[in-house]
């Protein structure tokens, strides 16, 4: 498969080159929630459009998943700069950040979020080490939480379904109380 085809399938899943298998799965899960035809049963036109979109999402997911499973679990990067930035951010992760990320990972239903939503998130508060907690609710009401390092790079991103929104808010409140 050539890079142009890969980029087309990545775009369907709203991903960028370099996406990992984990990011592909997370994006797929979120897009299925957004585009599932059952959400549009009161409007047959929207339901038909959602059905077609979901077919494209399913096809792209299967192609990218197969590609990653046979190619070191990652799509090709456009440049090595993104990988260097991620490595530098991970190396500089503070003890506060590690504890905060552990709290967020303990929230029931926490699923990795993709960096495409990071820029949509609104800063909520700054942690003691200078990193920032950001949140965003997507158009269908799925709550997202992100953590940015001092340089503004995303170092954590996750989302939970509606059933776990209260648990996420409690975790964010605990983090605000204990780490700001």
* Phi, psi (degrees; rounded to nearest 5) at 35: -100, 10
Q: How confident is the model at residue 127 (pLDDT cuts 50, 70, 90)?
A: very high
pLDDT at site 67:
85
pLDDT at site 93:
54
| Best CA proximity match to 32, nearest among 7, 57, 59, 64 | 57
Residue 81 has pLDDT above 60, yes or no: no
Please give the residue that has the higher pLDDT: either 47 or 177.
Answer: 177
**How high does pLDDT run on average in the chain?**
84
pLDDT at site 57:
93
Show the tokens assigned to 82.
Answer: 């993104």
- pTM flag (> 0.75): no
User: Using one digit for the tens of pLDDT, what is the confidence trace for 83-126?
Assistant: 444 444 444 456 888 899 999 999 998 888 878 889 899 999 99
Q: How confident is the model at residue 76 (pLDDT cuts 50, 70, 90)?
A: low
In the chain, where do the E strands start and end?
Answer: 111-112, 122-126, 132-137, 143-148, 154-160
Please give the residue that has the higher pLDDT: either 28 or 72.
Answer: 28
How open is the CA angle 7-29-26, to the nearest 5 degrees? Answer: 65
pLDDT at site 89:
44
User: Using one digit for the tens of pLDDT, what is the confidence trace for 20-55?
Assistant: 888 889 889 888 888 888 888 888 888 898 899 999
Residue 80 has pLDDT above 50, yes or no: no
pLDDT at site 59:
95
pLDDT at site 77:
56
């Amino acid at each position: 498969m050539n890079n142009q085809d890969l980029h087309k399938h990545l775009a369907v899943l709203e991903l960028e080159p370099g996406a990992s298998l984990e990011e592909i799965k997370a994006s797929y899960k979120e897009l299925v929630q957004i585009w599932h035809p059952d959400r549009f049963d009161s409007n047959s036109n929207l339901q038909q459009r959602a059905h077609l979109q979901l077919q494209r999402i399913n096809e792209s997911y299967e192609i990218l998943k197969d590609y990653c499973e046979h190619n070191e679990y990652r799509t090709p990067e456009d440049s090595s700069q993104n990988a260097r930035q991620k490595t530098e951010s991970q190396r500089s992760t503070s003890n506060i950040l590690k504890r905060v990320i552990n709290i967020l990972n303990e929230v029931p239903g926490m699923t990795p979020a993709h960096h495409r939503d990071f820029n949509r998130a609104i800063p909520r508060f700054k942690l003691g080490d200078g990193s920032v907690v950001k949140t965003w609710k997507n158009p269908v009401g799925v709550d997202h939480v992100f953590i940015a390092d001092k340089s503004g790079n995303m170092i954590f991103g996750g989302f939970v379904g509606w059933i776990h929104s209260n648990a996420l808010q409690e975790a964010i409140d605990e983090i605000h109380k204990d780490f700001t």
